[in-house]
Amino acid sequence: MGRKKLIKLNVIKDLENVFDFRDGDDEKNIRKYFDNDNPITLELGCGHGEYTFNLAREYPGRNFLGIDIKGSRLYNGAIDSIQYDIPNSAFLVSRIEKLPEIFSEEKIEEIIIPFPDPHVRRRSEKHRLVSPEFLKTYKSFLVEKGNIHLKTDNTELYEYALKILQKEKHNIIYSTSDLHSTDDELFIKTVLTRYEKHYVNEGRKIKYVCFNINRKENP
């Protein structure tokens, strides 16, 4: 492990806005930190945490929790949230598969999945964050009609998501293959990720799907 990464890991261990599944942190600890009853939005695969931080700053009436498996990545977002006094921004070191062990049934109001690894190889399909397996995972802790937002520049992942959502009869609320060309007023357009800014400048089209989970058993 590199020296810089080790230093970051040692720092975030003592930050009040960083939680770790491996240390036994759970929903109770996270709710106590937020110290309010505002809805919680999860950002899955938050990387360096700048998107979680910026969303929290833009929407102070909502709590944002960035989740990533690599704790050292969370350093910048966590430090900025403390430095700029953004108390509705926090971070969790955890695998996504472990989230049902952290959050009670139907307690999370919203999920954002920004630019995930598309896992384009067929044998990697189960790792796509909109695969049937992951959708079942989200269902276990997402409130009824809680929205899930997917943003991607990858056409294959976008089309795959639509196919799975239609096949499993999930409720597609909104979808577009070119998010930033639409005139529709969408909150998902107000804050851009670092990658998104880069993609837009390159002229890439950003695909977006907003949906919620079908609670009925499929026939």
Tell me the per-residue pLDDT of 46-62, one tens digit each, with 9 for 90 and over: 999 999 999 999 999 99
Q: What is the pTM of this model?
A: 0.94
Boundaries of domain holding 155: 3-212
Active site residues: 117
Residue 145 CA to residue 203 CA, distance in Å, equals: 33
The two structure tokens encoding residue 153 = 């520049």
Identify whether 155 is part of a domain: yes
Tell me the per-residue pLDDT of 60-72, one tens digit each, with 9 for 90 and over: 999 999 999 999 9
Residue 10 CA to residue 115 CA, distance in Å, equals: 28
146's CB contacts (< 8 A; 6+ apart) are: 106, 108, 109, 110, 111, 212, 213
Confidence bin at 186 (pLDDT 50/70/90): very high
123's CB contacts (< 8 A; 6+ apart) are: none
Whole-number pLDDT of residue 109:
97
Identify whether 100 is part of a domain: yes
Which CATH number does the domain housing residue 134 bear?
A: 3.40.50.150
The DSSP letter of residue 205 is P
Domain count, the chain: 1
Whole-number pLDDT of residue 87:
98
